[in-house]
Amino acid sequence: MKRPTQRAKTTLREIILLSLFAALFIVSKEVLAALPNIELVTVLIILLTHNVGLKALWSVYTFVAAQLLLYPTGVWMISYLYVWAILVLVICAVRRFGSPAIYTVIAGIFGILFGVLSSIPNFFIGGVGFGVSWIASGLGFDVIHCISNILTTALLFYPLNRVMQKIK
């Protein structure tokens, strides 16, 4: 029996699953890159976190590292270091009673707040005016992000979770 203070060991099966999801995050983002703020990364992170908890951070930070290597340097790099981790932490907090409906609401809220969360470094770099203008200029994209997250999570979470239950 495992003592409460012992850390759960990661199995080879989990390492493969986490690696597969990191690849899915990267590929799905690149495939949909031409569409503004329409992505599958959010629903995939929710799905993975629902099933493996904080271990999902391994996949998330592999994805973030790949994004840092694939795209030019910018302020967005700073926000990627914490924005996706916030989603993982929120899902971990509710996963005990998580349902597709709860996850869909969280995905929508995450979509609308993504720009706000991403603008935090701008407040430090350019002051309040710059931070607020960044949020205001991206609001239309955040609405698209919110709607697309709601639709993708509502349509995909349940069937993908059924597949996860079979392979887990």
* pLDDT tens for each residue of 122-163: 999 999 999 999 999 999 999 999 999 999 999 999 999 999
The tokens describing 100, both together, are: 């597709």
CATH 3.30.70 corresponds to the domain 12-167: no
Domain ranges of the chain: 12-167
Better-predicted residue by pLDDT, 2 or 53: 53
* Residue 21, Cβ density class (10 Å: 0-12 exposed, 13-18 middle, ≥19 buried): buried
pLDDT band at 5 (very low <50, low <70, confident <90, very high): low
* pLDDT tens for each residue of 37-88: 999 999 999 999 999 999 999 999 999 999 999 999 888 899 999 999 999 9
